[in-house]
Amino acid sequence: EAERGALKDKIRRLLKEKNAVMVSHYYVHPDLQDLAEETGGIVSDSLEMARFGRDHAAQTLIVSGVRFMGETAKILSPEKTVLMPDLDATCSLDLGCPEDEFSAFCDQHPDRTVVVYANTSAAVKARSDWLVTSSCALDIVSALKAKGHKILWAPDRHLGGYIQQQTGADMLFWNGACIVHDEFKALELEQLKQEHPGAKILVHPESPAEVVALADAVGSTSAILKAAQELDATEFIVATDKGMMHKLRTLNPGKTFYEAPTAGNSATCKSCAHCPWMAMNGLAGVAHVLETGANAVHVDPAIIPRARQPIDRMLAFTA
């Protein structure tokens, strides 16, 4: 505890000294969420992390999250230094969508507008027409459908399937999944709901369709937070990374939140509702990179202008 306090003090001091600001995702450790907010940064979803990093005056950004978030920050602000506690913090969606295979897939379908989820490498973004996050995917695909576009969607097949079901758009899918959300189970969720009949079910759309079908509210991390505040209930079952529980509980002290069931216990399931890559972020890592300048995110300058186009489009659409 004393060590945690000392690390936090050190980070507060170094953030000031280095003209740095910290941006955290809702899935990282509560310490990093609270510290980001307390020191003038934010904790948010991936869309708002991108916007905040772009608009903030600080010369150095500390991104507590996963690699695609650091890369997006760098693409939007190549002149800034972007540091991450651990550069190996990746994402199963990014890993499952290598640029060469993805490019070949796009080449086979030149008549389709390429819509790519934020959870991808800079090179995959550079091959796309539009970037989306889970908080704006529905609106962007609806708008494209209204203009007659046929869509090539990558990489999350569950989110893609949900958007297709909601919009009726003509969509062709890449076969990717998030190892965290893919583990939520519908049958066990129904059983838990029977134990708490008054509870509302909140689901991130990276979850399987049978789980989404049971939801009272479906949406990005920020949409889940909003639903918990607005829905008329005192109990909630939450199907997203358990990192989210910190903000849900602090903002709603009178309400009870249960974790949605996953495939197994910690011995059998791969992630157990907590992203192993998000978990690589910690106080010691943040202090280390601030002190040493280690773990700077690099994106090939040759692809930055092309990768930036779909991100700018998304940010303009959602402004």
Residues that bind ligand SF4 (CB under 6 A): 27, 66, 91-93, 119, 178-180, 206, 241, 275, 277-278
Choice from 33, 77, 134, 207 touching ligand 13P (CB under 6 A): 134
Q: How many Å apart are CA 120 and CA 154, to the nearest integer?
A: 9
221: partner contacted, choices ligand SF4, ligand 13P, none (Cβ within 5-8 A by kind): ligand 13P
Binding mask 32-51 for ligand 13P (x = CB under 6 A): -------------xxx----
Q: Which of residues 91-130 bind ligand 13P (CB under 6 A)?
A: 119
Q: How many Å apart are CA 1 and CA 231, to the nearest integer?
A: 36
Residue-level length of the chain:
319
Please give the backbone phi and psi of residue 161, each rounded to the nearest 5 degrees, phi first. -65, -40
Cis peptide, bond prior to residue 155, ω within 30 of zero: yes
CB of 232 to ligand 13P, least distance (A): 23
Q: Which of residues 263-302 bind ligand 13P (CB under 6 A)?
A: none
CB of 237 to ligand 13P, least distance (A): 18
Q: How many Å apart are CA 260 and CA 262, to the nearest integer?
A: 7
DSSP reduced 3-state for 22: strand
Q: How many Å apart are CA 106 and CA 85, to the nearest integer?
A: 34
Choice from 135, 164, 207, 262 touching ligand 13P (CB under 6 A): 135
220 binds ligand 13P (CB under 6 A): yes
CB of 12 to ligand 13P, least distance (A): 25
CB of 236 to ligand 13P, least distance (A): 17
64 binds ligand 13P (CB under 6 A): no
135: partner contacted, choices ligand 13P, ligand SF4, none (Cβ within 5-8 A by kind): ligand 13P
Nearest to 145 by CA among 118, 166, 124: 166
Distances (CA, A) of 164 to 176, 217, 252, 283, 310: 16, 17, 33, 40, 20
Select 22 or 280, whichever has its Cβ closest to ligand SF4. Answer: 280
Choices 55-63, 108-116, 131-139, 287-295 (CB under 6 A): range interacting with ligand 13P: 131-139
Nearest to 230 by CA among 257, 253, 252, 211: 252
Q: How many Å apart are CA 25 and CA 13, to the nearest integer?
A: 22
C-alpha dihedral over 32, 37, 42, 45, to 10 degrees?
60
Q: Total number of residues binding ligand 13P (CB under 6 A)? A: 11
CB of 151 to ligand 13P, least distance (A): 19
Residues near ligand 13P, by CB under 6 A: 45-47, 119, 133-135, 178, 206, 220-221
